[in-house]
Structure 1
Amino acid sequence: MMRIGELARQTGVSVKTIRFYEQVGVLPPPSRMENNYRLYSPDTVDRLRFITHARSLGLSLREITAILALSDRGEPPCGEMLASLDRQIAAVNQRIADLQELRAALIDLRQRGNQVATPWTDCICALVRDCQV
């Protein structure tokens, strides 16, 4: 068993974040010592590492909670995990497409901005003001 500071050191997750994860239910409430200090089992380290890595992949706390709930009930969470990854892949693909569109618009504006023009009439500032990305 370990206290919250040790859990934070072992996982690289701040004490504040650990408390938040407990509050929102992604981490179960820990047992308490007589002085009300939190006590965590070694299993909490693995759970918190899973949460941290899933968050770094862009999964929401709602998705992570659903995956962990399945696991907690003894059900295989693999299908839910794969569905979450598929949604994240689709979201990343959309962001890439949006960024490519933005890049093209920026390049176009930059090229058009090389032309000498009257300020605020037909200069680059007017182009930026009037562009629709």
Structure 2
Amino acid sequence: MTTSLRSSQVAAAVGVNVQTLRYYERRGIIEEPERSLGGHRLYPEETVTTLRIIKAAQRLGFTLDEVADLLEAGKHHHGAGLQSRTETKLAEVDQKIADLNAIRASLLAARDAGCDDLAQCAQSDCCPLPFVHIGAGPKGDSP
């Protein structure tokens, strides 16, 4: 016989609040637990493992919908598995890194150029910030 855990025990074991458990139940991400005679939710121990998987996947950048899909695919051994999903997530992370590196480069260039006033900088041809005017490319160039 497996041990049943109350909501507060599960929440404490995973580091979430009880409302998170109820939300995951409503979403169908975790199964609705049995109830005690007094009406308390009684979760199987496996729920703690499932919740730890969910939280770990979220820390890796997976959305809750993506995690739910992965859990569902794992239950039925079909669909796009973890390998293909991680490849997709890696591509997204690489794009975010590239975007952040471009932003960082612009900020460093603005700092090094000594820009103190955005309005004045926008009028200068030497300002490194990527100002774009409506109907034109950067710095007023025609498209």
Q: Same fold (TM over 0.5)?
A: yes
Contact 1:3 1:38 in 2 (8 A): yes
Match for residue 122 of structure 1 among 120, 123, 127: 120
Output the CA distance in 1 between the equivalents of 2:123 and 2:47: 54
CA shift at 1:129, angstroms? 8.5
From the superposition, tell whether residues 46 and 2 of structure 1 become closer, same or farther in structure 2 (CA, over 3 Å).
same
Residue 71 (1) aligns with residue 69 (2): no
Partner of 2:14: 11
Give aligned pairs, total: 128
Q: TM-score scaled by structure 1?
A: 0.80
Render the CA deviation track for 1:5-28: whole Å, top value 9, x for unaligned: 000111112212111111111111
Partner of 2:109: 108
Mean CA deviation greater in 15-24 or 106-115: 106-115
Task: Tell me how large the CA RMSD over aligned residues is.
Answer: 2.9
Partner of 1:92: 93
Which secondary structure does the structure 2 equivalent of 1:122 belong to?
A: helix
CA shift at 1:4, angstroms? 0.3
Output the CA distance in 2 between the equivalents of 1:48 and 1:131: 45
Long gaps (5+) in structure 1: none
Output the CA distance in 1 between the equivalents of 2:95 and 2:50: 30
Higher relative contact order (CA 8 A, sep 6+): 1
Name the structure with the higher helix share.
1
Contact 1:59 1:84 in 2 (8 A): no
Long gaps (5+) in structure 2: 133-137, 139-143
Q: TM-score scaled by structure 2?
A: 0.75
Identity %: 30
Which secondary structure does the structure 1 equivalent of 2:99 belong to?
A: helix
Q: Which amino acid aligns with 2:89?
A: Q
